[in-house]
C-alpha cells in the first residue's frame, strides 16, 4: 500500500477490499455483521482546514471543485452497495462533506452538526 500513490488510491483500495469482503460474505451466507463504519472518507479530497470549511454542510458550496465529482461518485458507490449489491447492508459514515443531491440528503440519518449542537458542548472544559 505504501507504494500505491496518493491517498485517493489508498481509499479506493481499502474500500474495494472491504466492500468485496462484505459482498462475498453476503453472497455466501457467511456469518459476519452486515455493517461498516467509515470515518471521513473524503479527507483525501479535502485535506485542508479551508477545504473542510467549504464543505462543512452548506450544500450551496459543493459544486465548486473537481474533487467533488470524485466525492459524489464515492457516495454513489456506497449508496448503490447498500441498495443493489447487498440490500440492507448498513454503512455508517461520519463526514464533513454535505452534497446537495437529493439522494444524498435522503440518506442522512440526522442533519449535519454545526456549533451548536455538537458532540461535546462548548461549555465543557
Task: Check the CA dihedral 73-74-77-79 and report its sign.
Answer: negative
C-alpha cell, 72: 459524489
CB 23 within 8 A of CB 91: no
In-domain check, residue 123: no
pTM exceeds cut of 0.85? no
In-domain check, residue 119: no
What is the mean pLDDT of each successive set of 10 residues along the chain, which is 125 residues long? 76 94 96 94 75 57 67 94 96 88 92 73 80
Query: Parallel, antiparallel, or unpaired for β 35-39 and 90-94?
Result: parallel
Q: Which domain holds residue 63?
A: 7-107
Collapsing DSSP states into helix, strand and coil, what is residue 78?
A: helix
Q: What are the φ and ψ backbone dihedral angles of 124, each rounded to 5 degrees?
A: -75, 145
In-domain check, residue 22: yes
Amino acid at each position: 500500500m505504501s507504494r500505491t500513490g496518493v491517498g485517493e488510491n489508498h481509499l479506493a483500495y481499502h474500500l474495494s477490499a472491504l466492500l468485496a469482503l462484505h459482498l462475498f460474505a453476503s453472497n455466501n451466507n457467511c456469518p459476519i455483521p452486515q455493517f461498516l463504519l467509515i470515518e471521513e472518507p473524503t479527507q483525501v479530497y479535502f485535506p485542508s482546514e479551508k477545504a473542510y470549511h467549504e464543505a462543512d454542510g452548506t450544500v450551496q458550496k459543493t459544486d465548486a471543485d473537481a474533487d467533488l465529482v470524485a466525492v459524489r461518485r464515492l457516495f454513489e458507490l456506497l449508496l448503490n452497495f447498500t441498495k443493489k449489491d447487498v440490500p440492507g447492508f448498513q454503512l455508517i459514515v461520519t463526514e464533513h462533506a454535505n452534497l446537495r443531491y437529493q439522494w444524498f440528503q435522503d440518506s442522512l440519518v440526522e442533519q449535519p452538526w454545526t456549533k451548536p449542537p455538537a458532540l461535546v458542548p462548548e461549555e465543557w472544559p
